[in-house]
Amino acid sequence: MIEGSVPVSFVNVGDRDRATAFYRDVLGLALKSSDDFGSFFDMGGALLRMTPFPHYQAGPHPVLGWNVADISAAVADLRGKGVAFTIYEGMGQDADGVWTSPDGAAKVAWFADSEGNVLSLSEA
């Protein structure tokens, strides 16, 4: 019954207006609908449900990520929109914040949304 259904990811936020601007204007996700309890964004066939909670505090681990064809181009695009990429001590990331796996097959970059949620880009 689940097969063929639209997947929905969830992200919690503290400031709904600020987070809406980030996901819509910075990440470029189309706002599909909003109600008193949150908003839905289109993620290319999947949905993102953004739910506001007063006093929300983001955790330290990634909550959402995108597999991109060209991580360097995606990082440059987001940097141009004011996104700062996170450099983790001891990870061996490059100057843009991109980590490359030891075999060179995968690349990952991490950044935070407007609420401190950890998001990622990956290229494999």
Predicted confidence (pLDDT) per residue in 45-81, tens digit:
999 999 999 999 999 999 999 999 999 999 999 999 9
Domain assignment of residue 3, yes or no: no
Domain assignment of residue 23, yes or no: yes
> Per residue in 12-23, pLDDT tens?
999 999 999 999
Do the Cβ atoms of 52 and 38 come closer than 8 Å? Answer: yes
Instruction: Report whether pLDDT(93) > 90.
Output: yes
Domain assignment of residue 38, yes or no: yes
Residue 15 has a pLDDT of 97
Domain assignment of residue 67, yes or no: yes
pTM: 0.94
Domain assignment of residue 119, yes or no: yes
Q: Across residues 39-46, what is the average pLDDT?
A: 96
Domain assignment of residue 1, yes or no: no
Cβ atoms within 10 Å, residue 100: 15
Residue 81 has a pLDDT of 97
Say if residue 19 is exposed, middle or buried (CB neighbours under 10 Å; 0-12, 13-18, 19+). Answer: buried
Domain assignment of residue 117, yes or no: yes
Q: What is the CATH number of the domain that holds 41?
A: 3.10.180.10
What's the domain count of the chain?
1
Residue 1 has a pLDDT of 84
> Per residue in 94-124, pLDDT tens?
999 999 999 999 999 999 999 999 999 999 8
Do the Cβ atoms of 16 and 52 come closer than 8 Å? Answer: yes
Domain that holds residue 20: 8-123
Domain assignment of residue 2, yes or no: no
CA 110/CA 108 separation, integer angstroms: 7
